[in-house]
Amino acid sequence: MQNACVYAFFVVILQEFLSIFFKNMILPIYLYGQPVLRKPTEDITPETLDLQQLLADMWETLAVAEGCGLAAPQIGKAIRLFIVDGTELSEDYPECQDFKKVFINPEIIEESEDDTTFSEGCLSLPGISENVIRPASITIRYMDENFTEHTETYDGFAARIIQHEYDHLEGHVFTDRISPIRRQFVKTKLTNIAKGKVAARYRTKR
Ligand code: ZN
């Protein structure tokens, strides 16, 4: 455990060092226990913020953390924005081919009646993965990075990633959706994350 902590420390220092030399910033990922993960989020407009720089930073942060999705509350911003990149998983999940997208002001407007179970993890909850039951497919209305509106239907792992990230905009994390027995099981792990006792291999805010 101590070795893991030392390793994580050096990785984080290296990331800080690299971010000085590159224009894009590796942002700290807010961990479970940070109030912003439970805050209501607001719609954004093209004037709200420097979106292109924020997106460049989020893509950099997601790549370094090796995740497949990142929602704005996870980098401390209570706004309705998330990014997904499932392309690395496209061999196992063909629906994730070219699934690298920005979702702005999204709204899930339809959910299928049939459910599926997938094991989920989250960059804000390092070290925890649990089975979560969710609708198998969803239809979502959103705007892309150019504020062009789209309405699309997704299924499989793509639908799973979207629902997980969408939950972050609604103030939820995936452990809110597991059974009471499993929640009891992960309670100590969650408490340890909130107390800053859990190391991650990426830059964090705890
Ligand atoms: Zn997450």
- Asked if 137 contacts 161 with a C-beta cutoff of 8 angstroms, the reply is no
Give dist(CA 190, CA 111) in Å, integer: 29
How many Å from the N-terminal Cα to the C-terminal Cα in the chain? 18
> What distance in angstroms lies between residue 93's CA and the mean position of ligand 1's atoms?
19
> What distance in angstroms lies between residue 123's CA and the mean position of ligand 1's atoms?
6
Q: What share of the chain is helix, strand, coil (3-state, %, to 5)?
A: 40, 25, 35
User: In the prediction, which pLDDT does 206 show?
Assistant: 87
Task: Tell me phi and psi for residue 120, to 5 degrees.
Answer: -115, 150
User: Which parts of the chain have pLDDT scores under 50?
Assistant: none
Extract the tokens encoding 156. Answer: 């499989």
> What distance in angstroms lies between residue 47's CA and the mean position of ligand 1's atoms?
27
Cα pseudo-dihedral 58, 59, 62, 67, rounded to 10:
130
> What distance in angstroms lies between residue 7's CA and the mean position of ligand 1's atoms?
23
Interval 73-122: pLDDT, tens: 999 999 999 999 999 999 999 999 999 999 999 999 999 999 999 999 99
Catalytic residue among 16, 111, 165, 170: 165
- Residue 66 CB coordination number (10 Å): 11
User: In the prediction, which pLDDT does 155 show?
Assistant: 97
For residue 165, indicate whether it is catalytic: yes
Q: Delineate the domains of the chain, giving CATH numbers in brackets.
A: 2-205 (3.90.45.10)
> What distance in angstroms lies between residue 41's CA and the mean position of ligand 1's atoms?
15
